[in-house]
């Protein structure tokens, strides 16, 4: 992961990372992409132009859920496994859809959730000829074998190596949120990738601010202890990022009804 990163879990589990707050002058956290490559490319251009206004290193944090439901899941993973945009470092976190995709490929019955939540579209994006309405057939051994053959090993390795938590000072980045009041060192993978109601109702319950996606909203939410960035891109066409600079948060978005960036 590079100098300055620390993996706080033992080998065999998704890593958790920590960075010094002084490492980057700006951090951009991007909400759920869900196969929407065009919006991701457009948002990267907005972030690139925004970053030109300040000198120093910048970081993009992708908050997970790169696949399912949108039209170009495979293309999104091809993009994310390539180099970050010029002038940026990039950290991608694992979302619950990414996690379920791995379970599906591993033959774990829990991975069948993936098929019922947009996963068939992901398999089709890799060239598999499948019926969108036949999840039972897609759960078969033969289709799983075909999926394993069609999906580049580099994509699988990328997903397996994704961290589930990034901490930068008092700012925390996780796909879904955290279990309220539980120390960060005790958060489970399921907490970080799947939690919803208790976190939204109670907040983190810790002296941190959490940047997350997972729960779709019409507009991004910016509060004192959490920033929610899933703006339902595959339905709304709107992809959203939060710019974090000197402790302050500003929202950047692309999609219908938004003015193009200046310059």
For 188-238, how does the pLDDT look when each residue is reduced to its tens digit (9 = 90+)?
999 999 999 999 999 999 999 999 999 999 999 999 999 999 999 999 999
For 121-170, how does the pLDDT look when each residue is reduced to its tens digit (9 = 90+)?
999 999 999 988 788 899 999 999 999 999 999 999 999 999 999 999 99
**Tokens 């489970």 map to which residue?**
188
Q: What is the pTM of this model?
A: 0.92
For 87-131, how does the pLDDT look when each residue is reduced to its tens digit (9 = 90+)?
999 999 999 999 999 999 999 988 889 999 999 999 999 999 998
Could you give the angle at the alpha carbon of 3 between the alpha carbons of 178 and 243, nearest 5°? 50
Identify the pLDDT of residue 257. Answer: 64
Between 174 and 7, name the one with better pLDDT: 174
Compute the distance between CA of residue 192 and CA of residue 173 in angstroms, rounded to an integer: 9
Topology of the domain comprising 17-96+165-254: Purple Acid Phosphatase; chain A, domain 2 (3.60.21)
Could you give the angle at the alpha carbon of 65 between the alpha carbons of 79 and 117, nearest 5°? 120
């Amino acid at each position: 992961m590079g100098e300055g990163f620390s993996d706080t879990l033992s080998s065999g589990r998704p890593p958790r990372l920590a960075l010094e707050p002084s490492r980057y002058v700006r951090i951009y956290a991007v909400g759920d992409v869900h196969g929407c490559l065009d919006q991701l490319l457009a948002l990267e251009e907005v972030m690139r132009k925004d970053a030109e206004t300040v000198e120093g290193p910048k970081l993009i944090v992708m908050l997970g859920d790169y696949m399912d439901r949108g039209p170009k899941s495979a293309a999104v993973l091809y993009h994310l496994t390539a180099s970050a945009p010029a002038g940026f470092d990039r950290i991608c976190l694992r979302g619950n859809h990414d996690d379920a995709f791995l379970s599906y490929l591993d033959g774990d019955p829990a991975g069948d959730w993936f098929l019922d939540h947009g996963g068939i579209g992901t398999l089709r994006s890799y060239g598999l000829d499948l019926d969108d309405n036949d999840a039972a057939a897609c759960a078969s051994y033969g289709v799983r074998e075909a999926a394993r053959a069609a999906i580049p090993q580099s994509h699988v390795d990328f997903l397996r190596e994704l961290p589930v938590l990034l901490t930068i000072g008092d700012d925390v980045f996780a796909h879904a949120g955290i279990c309220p009041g539980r120390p960060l060192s005790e958060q489970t993978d399921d907490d970080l990738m799947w939690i919803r109601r208790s976190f939204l109702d109670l907040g983190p319950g810790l002296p941190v601010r959490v940047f997350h996606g997972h729960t779709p909203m019409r507009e991004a939410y910016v509060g004192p202890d959490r920033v929610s960035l899933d703006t339902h891109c595959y339905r709304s066409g709107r992809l959203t990022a939060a710019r974090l600079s000197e402790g302050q948060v500003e929202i950047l978005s692309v999609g219908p009804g938004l003015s193009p960036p200046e310059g």
